[in-house]
Amino acid sequence: MKSVPESPALVFFDIDGTLLDTNREVPPSAAEAISQLRKNGHLALINTGRCPASILPHILEIGFDGIVASCGTYIEYRNDVLFNLVIEQDLLAQLLPLIDQAPIEMLLEGPEFLYVRDLSLFQSQYMFSGYFYGHEHIFRDWHDTPVVINKMSFALESPTGLDCCRHLIEPNFDLIPHSPLHGELVPKGHNKATGIERLLRHLNLPRSNTYAFGDSLNDLDMLSYAAHGIAMADSRSTVLSISDYVTNSAEEDGIARGLAHYGLI
């Protein structure tokens, strides 16, 4: 058991696979542990690849001091937006027509909305039976409304699916792969670690009191940058190899165990 830091710790939590269990629910032990963390004078913050629009109420109800969203391109602290990097309209005007003609499923992720190529098809195939059931209002068809986004996620039919627009992607985005056919496109030079760094500068707090919980490839930068990187037990092997501590899975009280290990609760 490690002693509680004299100054407040900043503890960053990924959402999927970290705060949420395999049923996409927040385990009661995690909610209780984060509540106690804040009662102890520390700061609890989300740090996620999700855009703000897709951080649903049952997650926010836990209670957080801030949000780093969309892989570091959006930062909010105590309801004040500190940073909101949106993709330039000129770039989208070149990119989206190419995606329209390609066998790519692309989800455009923004502060207020998520945009898809064919809203009616997306609704029939995914939305009403899935995680976003009851939250249809956050989706838009990108042909029908101005698109304001921080990043994108994609699903391909083949590993060459992005070739049609690679000349636009490579100079403007960092690609985070989740499989040969799935991944994220984030504005170049931004990630979860740069989000932490920017927030620390704003708060004038040291990196030495930062902790991060994560499980997937888009958590690598965050876990490496934080003074204490904590991997969930069911993390990808690459994540496990760079972490300072491995806690239990979300289902097995991993958040509570990790916070207790460092003496934060």
Q: What is the pLDDT of residues 72-128, one digit of tens each?
A: 999 999 999 999 999 999 999 999 999 999 988 999 999 999 999 887 766 555 544
pLDDT for 136 equals 77
Q: What is the pLDDT of residues 157-179, one digit of tens each?
A: 999 999 999 999 999 999 999 99
DSSP state of 120: H
The CATH number of 10-84+190-261 is: 3.40.50.1000
Range list for CATH 3.30.1240.10 in the chain: 89-187
Range list for CATH 3.40.50.1000 in the chain: 10-84+190-261
pLDDT for 212 equals 99
Whole-prediction pTM value?
A: 0.92
89-187 architecture in CATH? 2-Layer Sandwich (3.30)
CA 232 to chain centre: 15
Residue 1 clears pLDDT 50, i.e. is over it: no
- Residue 146: Cβ within 10 Å count: 10
DSSP state of 7: S
Q: How many CA atoms lie within 13 A of 154 on its CB side?
A: 27
Instruction: Look over the chain and give the mean of its residue pLDDT values, rounded to a whole number.
Output: 92
Residue 130 clears pLDDT 80, i.e. is over it: no
pLDDT for 123 equals 59
Query: CA of 63: how far to CAs of 20, 44, 77, 78, in Å?
Result: 15, 8, 12, 10
Phi, psi of 52 (to 5 degrees): -55, -35
pLDDT for 126 equals 54
Identity at 216, one-letter amino acid code: S
Identity at 86, one-letter amino acid code: V
Q: How many CA atoms lie within 13 A of 229 on its CB side?
A: 22
